[in-house]
Every structure is written in C-alpha cells, then in structure tokens.
Structure 1
Amino acid sequence: MSIENFVVVGASLAGLRAIEAARKAGYAGAITLIGAEDHLPYDRPPLSKAFLEPGTELVDIPFFRAEDTLRDELGVDLVLGYPATGLDTDARVVRVGEREVPYDVLIIATGSTPRVIPGTEGLDGVHALRTLDDAIAVREALIGGARTVVIGAGFIGSEVASGAKKRGVEVTVLEALPTPLVRATGEAMGQAIASLHERNGTTLRCGTGVSSLEGDGRVERVVLSDGSVVDADLVVVGIGVVPATEWLVGSGISVDNGVVCDETLWTGVPGVYAAGDVANWLNPVFGERQRMENWTAAAEQGAAAARNALDPKNAKPYGTVPYFWSDWYDVRIQFVGSPDADEVVVVDGDPDVGGRWVALYRRGDRLIGALTVNGQSVIMKYRVMISRGKSWEEALEFARARTAKVAAVS
C-alpha cells in the first residue's frame, strides 16, 4: 500500500522525532501533526528544573523547532490547540472535533495526563506541572514568594521543591507513602534520595495523606489525614500520571496501562504505532512489558515507530535500557535499568554522608540497574553493561576496579 498521509497525534518529543525520522527515511508525502495544546512541540524536562529557578524570568521557552521549520522545511500541517477526540481504524481517520483527518500511517504519541485531587478543579493556586502553561503559572507564583506545598515526593515534585528553595520560598513536600520513590528507585534507595530534602532545609512529611485543599476561591491551606494543616498560597500536585488514551475508546486499539504494542511498537492494527509515555511495549532487552515516562525513551521510540510504520516488512524491535535523570538542589540523580531487584548494594560513596554515591541492583545473577548521585562519569558505563547482560559479579568487579583506580589517583 502506498503511504500518502502520515499522521502524528501528540505534539510531543516522541511526535516530533517521528516526523523527523519519517523525512530522514525519505518519506515525501503529507504529514499532519495534531496537538491538544496551542504550543509547538517543546522540551518538558526543563520546565520543572531550570525554568523554575532564580534568574530564569527571561529564559526563552524551550521549543524544539520554530514554526517555519516545521511547516516549510519538514512540510508539516500543524493542527494545534485541538485534541484528537476519536479514532476510526476501519475508515482510517482521526477525529478532531467535527473534523476527520485521514491517515495511512498513524503514530500515537499523546503522552500522559497528570492525576488530580478531586474537588480542586475550581480552586486557584493549585497546579500540576505537565505543560508549559503549568510551568509558567508555577514560576509566577514562586517569583511572588508563594508559600508552597508540593503533594508527592516523586521526581517532578522534588524538582519543584528544589526550585522553590533556591528562590528562598517556604516549601513543604507531602508524601502519602512511608518511603518516597519506591516505584522509580526501589524502597532501599528511596529514603536515601529523599534525605536530600532534609539536607537542603526542605520540610518532607511522609506517611500522611491529604484530606482536602481549602480556600475561598483560592487555595489557602492543605488539610492532612492526621488532622494537621499546612498553610499554602501555591499547591503543586505531583501524584503521578496516566496514559492519555481516552480518545481511543471504541477504536479497537488495545489499551492496558497505555497503548499495548509489540516489540516493534506496532499496536496490532494496520498502520498504527505508538511511542513515548503512552506506549506499553515489549522491551526485548528485559523480555518484559514496560511503559516509560522519560525523555530518552520518548525520543528513541518516536523515531523507531516512524521507521517501522513506513517499512513494516522490515520492522526492527526497539529495545533499550531505561534511563532517566533528575536535578535537585545542586545534585544530579541518574538511574538506568530496572528497580525491580533482589538486592541493592552501594558500591561507591555513602548515602548517609551525601556527596557522590553509586548503588547497583541485582536480579538473579545479573546486573539489572544502577543509581548514581553525582555519578555522571560512570552511569552510562553501567547502562552498557546492563544492555550486554553482564553478570552481577562482573559489575561488582568493575566497581571495585574503578574505586581502586580513583583512590590511587587521589
């Protein structure tokens, strides 16, 4: 079948990389990019990091490409500010309100949407931090010195707390679980990373849920499940996200914690692939299903999905070792692999002291993950080891040799 209409739903990093990969592969037909936001595709990680910190009031918005580049150089028909509302896989059209956009190839890159606290929709001063508009609103509140409460001690929430603290703003982080970051880094290391808040003077309260947010039109206080109250002018809700798949109801696309795909990112429906936060695919590196919410996977999957969609007979599996990073205060946290481990061992440094440290994750007799704090020089070496299936003993030996080499130099 000839491909004349290449459609991407989601003006995201994954969506942009799909477009770029299609053109690089030689596709010369029509491309349509459908995005729910009015904005051109932009870089999300800085929005919860440097964008919130002091001295960034005049920083340019992190758009990936100018509009003329997208329209003129890449030949993209931009349909922005209008979310996809339905998909007919028999007729091969995406519905955008009353409009129908025909496709031969469709890349689903709609990402995810933040979970919200019910009953807070009409309360000013309560924000998630997912979009550019969210980040601008939060930054304006921080500039004004708003007493800040962050609900959820995950990476996004903790980055917001870091930015607030650097501005000298009073900030409290609330976490319902007794140990933060369990899903991302495992229980053993979650508390070690969370201790960075205490070291930097940020109040962290774990093991207590939020009962309600109160205020007269604007948030004034957060009421906790133990009856205590935290005053607030700004509340940032960071309690996770859900895949943006509502528009796919009735389409025949299989949805289960995201769009279900095979190892090539194909949905099983002719011409339809998925990429980014929304894709739940079989990762051949681990032989298990994963859905990744990180920059690296979104970029790589967008390109891989496009290539496979344009040449399905020669589709190649997309396998990767997950990688994400987070900047808190003056510390960079990086993780590769999977936190689902039988054992976690600190092989360099001491989390109780701070500074630089490295922890390795074992599953069976294999290295399955690595976590570093200020370990930029070593993290990618462990990522390569995981991708090559290196054994636990090989990983420990590498760590011992590296520690001895550093000690000899110093």
Structure 2
Amino acid sequence: MATEPTFLVLGAGQAGGTAIQKLRDEGFEGRIVLVGAEHHLPYERPPLSKSYLKDEGWLSHKSLRGQQWYDTQNVELRLGTRAISMRSADHQVTLDDESTLHYDKLLIATGSKARRLNVTGAELSGVHYLRTLEDSTALGATLNEAPNVVVVGASWIGLEAAAAARQKGCRVTVIGPGTVPLQASMGTRIGGYYAELHQGHGVDFQLGRHVVGFQGTEKVTSVIADDGTTFSADLVIAGVGVEPESGFVEERFLSEDGGILVDPQMRTEDPDVFAAGDIASVANPLYGRRLRVEHWNNALMEGKIAAQSMLGLPSRFDPAPFFFSDQYDCAMEYAGWVDARTAEDPVIRGDLAAHKFHAFWVVDIVVVAGMHVNAWDEGLVPVQELIRARTRVDPAALSDTTAPLARLVETPEA
C-alpha cells in the first residue's frame, strides 16, 4: 500500500503558514511537517516595528491560524529547530538536532535575517536588531528606560523604529548614508518628505555618515561615526537591511544575493522544490527582471501560490509588489517597483505639506510604481491597476486632483 505523500515546509513565517493553510483548504490530506527556527507558530511581522513596539498589543489581521487549527489539521510542528543542509537528489533535509526528514515536495520559506554590523563594540549589550518577536519584545521594554536612542540606518525599519521611540519620549538620532532617508528606494524628494516628517517630531538626522564603532564597557554608551563624531546612546537600533536565510540551500538553487530562483509559480528548476516569501527571487514578467520582495503581502501571495503549485493547481501572480508603512499619523501604501536611478522625480498629486498625496514614478509615460500617504479617498487600488495594465498616462493628468484616478484607468491615453 502506498504511503501518504509528505510535504515539508521549512520556515514558520507568513509564507510558510499561509502555504500550509492553503494546502489544507485545497484538500491535501497527506502529511505536512512545518520546521521553524523560532519557538512560535507563524505570525505577522509588520507589527514588530509598529504597533507592538509601541506597547499597543498584537494588532493582527488574523490571516494565520492558532494552535488548535494545527492540531485539528494534523500538521506536525518542529519548532525551535532549523535546516542545516539539504540533499535534493535524495529528497532529504537535515535539521540542527541531527534528525533527517524525507519529503515528496519541499517548500523553502525560511525568509531573511537581519544583517549584522561588523564594527568594534557591535557585541555590546544595548545594540538591538529588529526581526523577530523576541527582538521586538526586548526592544520595546528597553525603550521605556532609554533617554537617548541612536538608529543606525535610515531604512523603513529604521524610520518606523525611530517613530516608535519618539512616541515613547526618547531623544532619537538617525545615522545613515545618503542626503535623505530612503534615498536608494524612494529618491530625494520622497526621502526628503520623510526627513521633514521626522524632524517635525524632533528626530535628529546625521546623514552622509557611516557608523564605525560603539563604545561602552559591557553596555553601549555611545556611537562613533566615520568622521570621528560620537553620539550618546543608551540604546542602539540597527536597521541596515536583511539577507536571505539560505545557508543550507544547494548552490544550484541560488541567485547572486542568496535568494532562491523561482518562476512566478514559485517553482525552482527541481519539480519537487519550491520557494516563497522573502527568500524567493521571482522572475517578474512586468519588470523583465528578478525581484526578491521582503514584504508582508508578498509572503501572503507567494505562500498561496507555492501551495497551489505543489498540488499542480493553477495560480495567479500579482507582478506589482505592495507594502505599507505607518509613522506617526502618516499611513503609506506603495505598489510597484522602480529602479533607484529613475526614482528621483516622481509625479506628485496632492499636498506633501498637508501629509495627503499620491506619488507616481513614470518611465516612458507608463506608471511603474506609486504610493499614497493618507489619501484614502482614492487609495492605492487605481494605482495598482495603472501599474498592472502598463497604462500610458499624461503626467499632467496624474497630478490633476480634479480628475479621478479611476478615469485614467478606464480611459488610458492612446
């Protein structure tokens, strides 16, 4: 008698948890094993740098399931352990507890890990990274007792953490490269908007600098910049990017940055190996290049697609990435992708000073990316439709707040 097939999911994050739920929803009755490095069931990460960090509780939209669901659905949990090697030829994965698991289908959804600073004093107590629930819990508790906070890196995570620290009453200094925060992804104009937003809330930016070390005996007391300037610090938050958690993956599956090469159905070159979430380097048909997107909505979508592909079912890939950010009273939603070299001059619709506007990045009169801040009357849906349809638009029409965006979608320029 044939044994039931085993689907092995490596990574208990948003993508892995969503994939398992989709497998059961689609009627898969075989064995499912979930391996996760953390001791938690899959959970949502966006609150870690937003609401959870500000002691507002666990604000989740509840897309993921609790322990009872995993029990009733007969999902085997191997939490608190991680993969250390794989042998795809043998359909086997070895874990750090020295056990070996066999699979019929394998989903790699191990996500990414925080990039660490390699400078003097980086091991001191008080230097924090923000990636896991434990990271956020420890950081949130420490912020209550840290008058001076230094954020290393003017990234989205860095700015969200800076906003949370200011709202807790901390004095905050942000140190980063470039002339404005977010310059590499948003360009100077939008980066400048976020600089002014934070400066209006009392954040001190020290830009065009790099951190070369930390001072302190056992606990950090100051941060040293590359020009020799020191900044007092009771606590440091390092937000200098992430890197794929793929050290155990066979080289043939990997892209140059350590992501896993997949098509829009999350399939690798091996018909029994799939990848989804932060770790997946997806051939994006809209932009004609591979994109590895490290955002919540992407993990949700790709987890579902991977599950459908593991079952041989069709799926629909959205080529316009989506993410959001909340800082102070400014809520932002973004869709699409734009090369940093063309990000400098977006079309603005609305009023930056009033904190209510859209921004569009246009290449060859086609909208390739767009965002809004507090512009909920029109929101992001028409922006996403413009991007997906590759609608040719007149930039003047985009900036005209008297002409509804939906009309541009319905009647694109010839």
Contact kept? 1:280, 1:289, Cα under 8 Å: yes
Single out whichever of 314-323 and 215-224 deviates more from structure 2: 314-323
Letter in 2 for 1:176: P
Are positions 1:291 and 2:281 aligned together?
no
- 2:88 aligned residue: 89
Aligned partners of 1:342 and 1:240: how far apart in 2? 20
Task: Give the distance between the partners of 2:196 and 2:324, measured in 1 at CA.
Answer: 17
CA distance in 2, matches of 1:96, 1:319: 33
Shift of 1:80: 0.5
- Tell whether the 8 Å contact from 2:347 to 2:399 is kept in structure 1 after alignment: no
> CA RMSD, aligned part only?
2.2
Q: Give 1:240 shift.
A: 0.5
The answer to whether the aligner puts 1:163 opposite 2:164 as a matched pair is yes
d(CA) in 2 for partners of 1:146 and 1:33?
41
How far is 1:134 from its partner? 0.4
| Aligned-residue offset at 1:396 | 4.7
Say if 2:93 and 2:101, in contact at 8 Å, map to a contact too.
yes
**Conserved? CA contact 2:150–2:173, under 8 Å:** yes
Amino acid across the alignment from 1:303? K
Aligned equivalents of 1:345 and 1:102: distance in 2? 50
Residues 245 and 22 of structure 1: is their aligned pair in 2 closer, same or farther, counting only changes over 3 Å? Answer: same
Tell me if 1:123 matches 2:117: no
* Partner amino acid, structure 2, of 1:101: L
Partners in 2 of 1:28 and 1:260 — Cα distance?
28
Contact 2:150 2:172 in 1 (8 A): yes
Which residue does the alignment assign to 2:327?
Answer: 328
Task: For residue 217 of structure 1, give the secondary structure of its aligned residue in structure 2.
Answer: coil
Could you list the runs of 5+ residues in structure 1 that have no partner in the other structure?
none
Task: Write the distance in 2 (CA, Å) between the matches of 1:191 and 1:206.
Answer: 12
Provide the C-alpha distance between the structure 1 equivalents of 2:5 and 2:402, rounded to a whole number of angstroms.
Answer: 56
Residue number in structure 1 paired with 2:106: 106
Preserved CA contact (<8 Å) 2:51 2:58? no
The answer as to whether partners of 1:52 and 1:135 remain within 8 angstroms in 2 is yes
* Counterparts in 2 of 1:12 and 1:93: CA distance versus 1, 3 Å: same
How many residue pairs end up in the alignment?
396
Partner of 2:70: 70
- Measured in 1, the distance between the counterparts of 2:24 and 2:9 equals 13
Between the aligned partners of 1:405 and 1:147, the Cα distance in structure 2 is 45
Percent identity reads 33
Take 1:103 and 1:47, find their aligned partners in 2: how far apart are those partners? 33
> What does residue 51 of structure 2 align with?
50
Amino acid at match of 1:48: S
Please state how far the C-alpha of 1:244 moved relative to its aligned partner.
0.9
2:184 and 2:4 mapped to 1: Cα distance? 41
Give yes or no for contact 1:9–1:110 (8 Å, CA) kept in 2.
Answer: yes
Q: Distance in 2 between matches of 1:109 and 1:66?
A: 19
Once the 2 structures are TM-superposed, how far is the Cα of residue 404 of structure 1 from its aligned partner?
A: 5.2
Moved more, 293-302 or 354-363: 354-363
Tell me which residue corresponds to 1:348: 349
Distance 1:344 1:379, change over 3 A: farther
- 1:39 to 2:79 alignment: no
How far, CA to CA, are the matches of 2:195 and 2:104 in structure 1?
A: 47
How far apart are the structure 1 equivalents of 2:343 and 2:81?
A: 46
Aligned residue identity for 1:102: H
Q: Deviations over 1:337-374 (max 9, x none)?
A: 112247734332333x2421221111112111112221
TM-score of the aligned structures, taking structure 2 as reference length: 0.90
Q: Tell me the residue number matched to 1:374.
A: 374
Q: Match for 2:308: what amino acid?
A: R
Q: Does 1:390 align with 2:391?
A: yes
1:150 equivalent in alignment to 2:159: no
CA distance in 2 between partners of 1:249 and 1:123 (Å): 34
Superposition pairs of residues 131-142 of structure 1, within 5 angstroms:
131-142=132-143
Counterpart Cα distance in 2 of 1:280 and 1:357? 31
How far apart are the structure 1 equivalents of 2:39 and 2:361? 42
In the alignment, the residues of structure 1 paired with residue 404 and residue 260 of structure 2 have an alpha-carbon distance, to the nearest angstrom, of: 46
Q: Distance in 1 between matches of 2:206 and 2:299?
A: 32
- 1:183-222 pair list within 5 angstroms: 183-222=184-223
Partner residue, 2:409? none
Residues 220-259 of structure 1 mapped to structure 2, 5 A cutoff: 220-249=221-250, 252-257=252-257, 258-259=259-260
TM-score (norm 1): 0.91
Q: Which moved more, 1:219-228 or 1:115-124?
A: 115-124
Q: Secondary structure at the match of 1:90?
A: helix
Distance 1:256 1:273 in 2: 18
Tell me how far apart the structure 2 counterparts of residues 51 and 382 of structure 1 sit (CA, whole Å).
29
Distance 1:7 1:317 in 2: 23
Partner Cα separation in structure 2 for residue 315 and residue 271 of structure 1: 16
Corresponding residue SS for 2:355: strand
Q: Residue 116 of structure 1 aligns to a residue in which SS?
A: coil
Q: Shift in Å at residue 197 of structure 1?
A: 1.0
* CA deviation map 1:267-303 (0-9, x unaligned): 1012111100000011123232111011111100000
| Distance in 2 of aligned mates of 1:186 and 1:342 | 5
- 1:296-355 residue CA offsets vs partner (Å, 9 max, x unmatched): 1110000001101211xx55462321111111111112211112247734332333x242
1:305 paired residue number: 306
In structure 2, relative to structure 1, the CA distance for the partners of 1:213 and 1:121 (3 Å cut) is closer
4+ long deviations beyond 6 Å: none
* Distance apart, 1:181 and its partner CA: 1.1
Aligned partner letter, 2:43: Y
Structure 1 position 12, deviation (Å): 0.4
- CA deviations 1:169-201 (Å, max 9, x no partner) are 111111122232133323442222222111111
